[in-house]
Amino acid sequence: MAEELFVCKSFDCYLMKIKNYINGELVDPASNTFLDNINPSTGEVYSFIPDSDERDVELAVRAAAAAFAGWSNLPVAKRSDILLKIASLIDLNLDRLALAESVDQGKPLLVSKTVDIPRARDNFHFYATAAIHLSTEAHATENTAINYTLRQPVGIAGCISPWNLPLYLFTWKIAPALASGNCVVAKPSEITPMTAFLLSEICIEAGLPKGVLNIVHGLGSKAGAAIVSHPGIHAVSFTGGTKTGEWIARTAGPMFKKLSLELGGKNPNLVFADCNFEDAVKTSVNAAFSNQGEICLCGSRIFIEQKIYDRFKEAFIKRVSTLKVGDPFKEENKMGAIVSKQHMEKILSYIELAKQEGGKILYGGKQLMLDGQNKNGFFIEPTVIEGLAYDCRTNQEEIFGPVVTLTPFETEDEVLQYANSTQYGLAATVWTENLSRAHRVAARLQSGIVWINCWLLRDLRTPFGGMKSSGVGREGGFEALRFFTEEKNVCIKL
Ligand code: NDP
């Protein structure tokens, strides 16, 4: 854990000061100013984040440029060894990282321990080994020539990630970028910087050569924007909101940077009457409220075939009523805090909007006021709403919180129209025991990912990403390694 502590003037207590990781060292930002980092389950400032700007990004890019020749020319097996060491150190520090993630993000400790941190380890493990197996193509031009394709690292990659699955999504970008020989300048969300900071300590311990990975903390509008617009950064991999993605595309597009954009979602969950009812109810509750509904893949619009609507609604609410919300560190709590006050207020405003649009709150609907150390924390009850038109704002805009709507449908065509009606196209779930229907509906859904009779069942080899305003490009498997490399065709005349 970081050693430097200093006195927090406002609270007269010792709080940790997070540092940037540039050129292999933990350093203060050029501005020497810091932002408050708030623990969402207590509402209190518990550490400070560098308020970095373009000067820090400049230093990071210079460090990355100086490290590039050494790193990209290292045999892939050697790069792989170092990344595997990082994976092992993440594993060794699992408890510490999980604790840090839950304090920073508000999610239940059990979720950090069983989902976020293991997945961060797996990301490094997966790409450390995948890079060894990346192959390229050859084309024999009959009696004339042989063409072969080289895949070379793009150079310096910019990786920017959001606050909902902090280390999980941060490493999902960094690991393939590094494995394929790039140097990286990365920025985690300013709202959840802690595990990225702890990762920089792990990278030092693992012997990652200096400058290969640089982590610049701070605001998206300053540090993030400086990464996107820096001419020395050749590819930008971004996960976050659609609006931010739009700005990034507008800025990086004219500079001809490679772009991977994983953006928002408003995912439909289609429940047909011929489903396995118990599975559909249980998994739909998980899909709606896991991580407080703050997963881009959460199923926030549930469409239920009319024949089973009332039965499903009753069973769904019964199950939701068993979800305890509260202190992320108490094992009985299945939902923790919302990531920030600002985000909590946004979610609550959408619940108000739903009421104005004619929605009936079937369960929850309010901020949850707790006591003790959580009395100033940001908690919202799991909220279930019915009676809304499929095309109202509540059903079209991303809320990204513990809010789900229930809507009945009669026919396959009707539910497909509802499901495909938003600007988004990230993920969808279908519940049916009818194999033909499953294939038919999957093919017609406008989604980058379709789960049949399951949710969030992930295989890291599969392409991951969205259609329409949910993004551009795909992560996962060899897709990410292809994104972080440039193809070059070499033609040899026979
Ligand atoms: P934001 O778009 O606000 O931020 C994402 C990251 O971008 C943060 O690090 C942020 O920094 C940074 N950023 C903000 N503005 C800029 C800018 N102008 N230039 C460069 N970087 C910038 O998203 P959230 O953090 O609020 O995350 C929630 C969103 O992420 C939701 O829409 C969700 O659907 C989406 N998401 C998508 C996923 C997918 O795979 N498709 C997965 C997970 C989330 P800062 O925090 O300082 O603002």
Q: Is residue 465 part of a domain?
A: no
Number of domains in the chain: 2
Q: Is residue 213 part of a domain?
A: yes
Can you name the residues that pair with 26 across neighbouring β-strands?
21
> Which among 59, 30, 465 is positioned nearest to 227, based on CA atoms?
59
294: annotated active-site residue: no
Can you name the residues that pair with 367 across neighbouring β-strands?
380
Domain range for 482? 2-263+470-490
| Region of residue 291 (left: phi > 0; alpha: psi -120 to 50; beta: else) | left
Structure tokens at 299: 């199923």
Q: Are residues 21 and 127 in the same domain?
A: yes
Q: Are residues 122 and 31 in the same domain?
A: yes
| Pair 207, 85: CB distance under 8 Å | yes
Distance between CA atoms of 110 and 94, rounded to whole angstroms? 12
Q: Is residue 481 part of a domain?
A: yes
DSSP E strand stretches across 63-209: 138-141, 145-153, 156-160, 183-187
Q: Are residues 309 and 445 in the same domain?
A: yes
Secondary structure (3-state) at 120: helix
| Pair 215, 194: CB distance under 8 Å | no
Q: Is residue 464 part of a domain?
A: no
**Does residue 473 line the site of ligand 1, with CB under 6 A?**
no
Q: Are residues 291 and 212 in the same domain?
A: no
**Cα–Cα separations (whole angstroms), residue 127 to 112, 477, 479:** 21, 8, 11
Q: Are residues 235 and 299 in the same domain?
A: no
CA 10 to chain centre: 33
> Which among 17, 21, 61, 56 is positioned nearest to 37, based on CA atoms?
17
**Does residue 108 line the site of ligand 1, with CB under 6 A?**
no
Q: Are residues 14 and 73 in the same domain?
A: yes
| Pair 406, 385: CB distance under 8 Å | yes
* Ligand 1 mean position, distance from CA 244 (Å): 7
Q: Are residues 237 and 338 in the same domain?
A: no
Q: Are residues 328 and 395 in the same domain?
A: yes
Mutate to test the pocket of ligand 1, among 197, 244, 346 (most ligand atoms within 8 A of CB): 244
CA-angle at 83, arms to 79 and 88, nearest 5°: 145
> Which among 342, 341, 338, 340 is positioned nearest to 328, based on CA atoms?
338
Distance between CA atoms of 224 and 203, rounded to whole angstroms? 22
Q: Is residue 299 part of a domain?
A: yes
Distance between CA atoms of 303 and 309, rounded to whole angstroms? 9
399: domain CATH number is 3.40.309.10
Strands 258-262 and 34-39, sheet pairing: unpaired
Q: Are residues 344 and 239 in the same domain?
A: no
| Phi, psi angle pair for 174, to nearest 5° | -65, -45
Secondary structure (3-state) at 438: helix
| Alpha helix stretches (DSSP H) within 421-475 | 435-444
296: annotated active-site residue: yes
* Ligand 1 mean position, distance from CA 240 (Å): 3
**Could you read off the pLDDT tens digit of each residue along the chain, which spans 494 residues?**
444 433 334 444 457 899 999 999 999 999 999 999 999 999 999 999 999 999 999 999 999 999 999 999 999 999 999 999 999 999 999 999 999 999 999 999 999 999 999 999 999 999 999 999 999 999 999 999 999 999 999 999 999 999 999 999 999 999 999 999 999 999 999 999 999 999 999 999 999 999 999 999 999 999 999 999 999 999 999 999 999 999 999 999 999 999 999 999 999 999 999 999 999 999 999 999 999 999 999 999 999 999 999 999 999 999 999 999 999 999 999 999 999 999 999 999 999 999 999 999 999 999 999 999 999 999 999 999 999 999 999 999 999 999 999 999 999 999 999 999 999 999 999 999 999 999 999 999 999 999 999 999 999 999 999 999 999 999 999 999 999 999 999 999 99
| Residue the block writes with tokens 């009779």 | 453
What would the DSSP string read from start to end of 218-243?
A: S-IIIIIHHHHH-TT--EEEEES-HH
**Does residue 296 line the site of ligand 1, with CB under 6 A?**
yes
Structure tokens at 283: 């998994």
Structure tokens at 69: 């020749």
Q: Is residue 111 part of a domain?
A: yes
Q: Which of 183, 203, 296, 298 is catalytic?
A: 296
Can you name the residues that pair with 259 across neighbouring β-strands?
236
241: domain CATH number is 3.40.605.10
Q: Which of 262, 294, 381, 398 is catalytic?
A: 262
Q: Return the HEC string of 166-227.
A: HHHHHHHHHHHHHHCCCEEEEECCCCCCHHHHHHHHHHHHHCCCCCCEEECCCCHHHHHHHH
| Phi, psi angle pair for 267, to nearest 5° | -80, 135
**Cα–Cα separations (whole angstroms), residue 278 to 148, 415, 442:** 53, 21, 21
Total residues belonging to the chain: 494
Q: Are residues 202 and 301 in the same domain?
A: no
Q: Are residues 181 and 320 in the same domain?
A: no
Distance between CA atoms of 74 and 491, rounded to whole angstroms? 26
Secondary structure (3-state) at 299: strand
**Does residue 170 line the site of ligand 1, with CB under 6 A?**
no
| Radius of gyration in angstroms for the set of CA atoms belonging to the chain, rounded to a whole number | 23
Q: Are residues 277 and 369 in the same domain?
A: yes
| Pair 325, 291: CB distance under 8 Å | no
